[in-house]
Amino acid sequence: MNAPPRTPNTPSPSVRLLRRVWISIAGFTLLGIGFLLLFTPGPGVPLMLGGLALLALEFEWARRSLARAKETGSMLWRRVMPRRPAATGDSAPGATGDELPKRQIWSVIGASSVGTMIEWYDFYIFGSLATVISPLFYPSGNDSLALIAYLSTFAVGFVVRPFGALVFGRIGDRVGRKYAFLVTLVIMGGATALIGLLPTYESIGIAAPIALLVIRVLQGLALGGEYGGAAVYVAEHVPDRKRGFYTSFIQITATLGLFMSLVVILLVQHAVGPDAFKAWGWRLPFLISIALLVVSVYIRMRMRESPIFLHIKQAGMTSAHPLREAFTQWDNLKRVLISLFGATAGQGVIWYTGQFYALFYLLTILKVNATTANCIIAVALLAGMPLFVVMGSLSDRIGRKRLMMAGCLLAAVSYLPIYHAMQSVAGSNVVAVTSQRNAVTGAINLSPQSMIDGQMVPTTEVLAFDTFGALIQSATAWQLAGLIFLQLVLVTMVYGPIAAYLVEAFPARIRYTALSLPYHIGNGVFGGLLPVIGLSVVALTEDIDAGLYYPIAVAAMTFIIGSIFLKETNHHRIWDEVRPENPRSPAG
């Protein structure tokens, strides 16, 4: 049946799509600002209700659009983004991962990994420079705006990631993997570049912290859709028997993006000097994103659609309602819940403990010089990155579940000894902390206390070096890097196989949507909020070990739930799902 003709007053599909995108952004922004203002005398509840109303309006429009498409047999996205014919480069529908040439597989991995790494760089450069840029975007003495600015520099971007997973997951399962994470790349790169151009509070007043919050929301939404697209896209191109090995290159990108952000910051600081960096040099790492974005968009525009998705689309096997099918049908919802609590929650806290919390601990608790601490983390990250491939490949042979559960168990029992060793090696003799809330920023400030000659005194900075040569000759710095590397081993054990597991756990027709939500709740909420939770617990108890109790508890929970309920998936063949003569359901 043909679609009814569009009248002159009817908006075009692209206009309707743009309108819905902006309404969704406005809704999430109002919801985020309202949530933050709940902690102040501000109008938090009305703003949250306004945000929920806009999101409800968008949901109703989406429901009606799907109903119209079903009635007319038309598809909105076919008119907005028509699929190229196979002759221009799309993968052949009948091709399988075993049939694709290795050169094509590596091209797919390279194109996906570069874009994903850049998105992680964009996301983490914001957090890495939070202490530098946050004082520039709020007024001193205004507690409400200060709290918004402080929380928006970290937590908001993580909290909205699951919403991005739902929005772009649905697009990926209905329109295509390629288009979904091409859009996320443009949004992330554009938002990051805007930060580098954003006027400060001194120039535009209250608009500065609000714009910063909106940009952070956009970054979180984009990242919520990026990872699932990249993981699914690569997994649906590669052979079943080597999926852990090939998808592990996507797993490197998060750590590589963090490493790249630290290196760029160190290089720019060294090039322009500390004073110039605080004045204007902090903008350069954000503006670099423009060049990275252009290159990445060019690469992704040349990418082909996933052969599995092409097959199910041409066979009419795509899901009309991927959100409903993924989260209201018990068999699929059960897989989502088991994947969250039995895999990604523990994986998320281990990832953030081994990298972000370790940096926080060096800087805030042990009072290690900031440049030295960043170099220590960077060295450990560089040494640990090849292990993602090792662990991914190992999971092809011994199983995803066995490796991930071993990582969770080892993390739960080894974190306290590792951090006690870091405390001993650093030489700052920290035994406790005192805390107070900053009257300007609303942030919790910790003051480590050292035991010197039987007396408690404020801890002084340690491991400050005049030259880089002196730093690399320090045995203490290398010992601390080794202890961080041990945590990276645990990170690779749980993170190396997770993409392959998630792809294998869900059917192709809802794969993008279903795997993205548990991943981003596990990493964006359980893992992403770990530094904030750790800081708060340490401040509340004044115990330097207390921040580790949260990741230990979550890792132990994941080990128990995963050991009981998680199914082994490394023998599952996702290509069989699209062969009617040999149907198989995903492992759950």
Q: Are strands 455-458 and 430-437 parallel, antiparallel or unpaired?
A: unpaired
Residue 93, SS3 per DSSP: coil
Number of domains within the chain:
2
Q: Quick one: 403 and 280 in the same domain? A: yes
Q: What is the rounded CA–CA span in Å between residue 184 and residue 187? A: 5
Q: Quick one: 224 and 342 in the same domain? A: yes
Helix 143-152, helix 207-235: angle, nearest 10: 20
pLDDT at 78: 42
Q: Quick one: 233 and 378 in the same domain? A: yes
Q: Please return the burial class of 9, using the count of CB atoms within 10 Å of its CB with bins 0-12, 13-18 and 19+.
A: exposed
Residue range 318-330, pLDDT digits in tens: 777 888 888 888 9
Question: What pLDDT band is residue 582 in, cutting at 50, 70 and 90?
Answer: low
Q: Quick one: 60 and 177 in the same domain? A: no
Buried b or exposed e, range 20-42, using 16+ CB within 10 angstroms: beeebbbbbbbbbbbbbbeeeeb
**Contact 169/230 with Cβ under 8 angstroms?**
no
**86 HSE (CA, 13 A, CB side):** 10
Q: What is the rounded CA–CA span in Å between residue 542 and residue 552? A: 18
Q: Quick one: 46 and 113 in the same domain? A: no
Residue 217, SS3 per DSSP: helix
Q: Which of 15-19, 31-35, 213-217, 522-526 has the highest mean pLDDT?
A: 522-526
Q: What is the rounded CA–CA span in Å between residue 566 and residue 555? A: 15
96 is a domain residue: no
Residue range 487-502, pLDDT digits in tens: 999 999 999 999 999 9
Q: Quick one: 17 and 156 in the same domain? A: no
Domain of 42, in residue numbers: 13-64
172 is a domain residue: yes
C-beta atoms surrounding 174 within 10 Å? 23
Q: Quick one: 19 and 109 in the same domain? A: no
Q: Quick one: 44 and 124 in the same domain? A: no
Residue range 436-478, pLDDT digits in tens: 765 544 556 778 888 887 788 888 989 988 777 888 899 999 9
123 is a domain residue: yes
83 is a domain residue: no
Q: Quick one: 276 and 331 in the same domain? A: yes
Q: Quick one: 23 and 130 in the same domain? A: no
219 is a domain residue: yes
Q: What is the rounded CA–CA span in Å between residue 521 and residue 122? A: 20
CATH of the domain at 163: 1.20.1250.20
Please check the confidence at residue 25 and state whether its pLDDT lies above 60: no
**Contact 277/269 with Cβ under 8 angstroms?**
yes
Q: What is the rounded CA–CA span in Å between residue 388 and residue 394? A: 10
73 is a domain residue: no
The torsion angle over the Cα atoms of residues 107, 109, 114 and 115, rounded to 10 degrees, is 100
C-beta atoms surrounding 13 within 10 Å? 18
Partners of 437 in beta bridges: 444
70 is a domain residue: no
Residue range 178-231, pLDDT digits in tens: 888 788 888 888 888 888 888 888 888 878 888 888 888 888 888 888 888 888
Please check the confidence at residue 155 and state whether its pLDDT lies above 80: no
86 is a domain residue: no
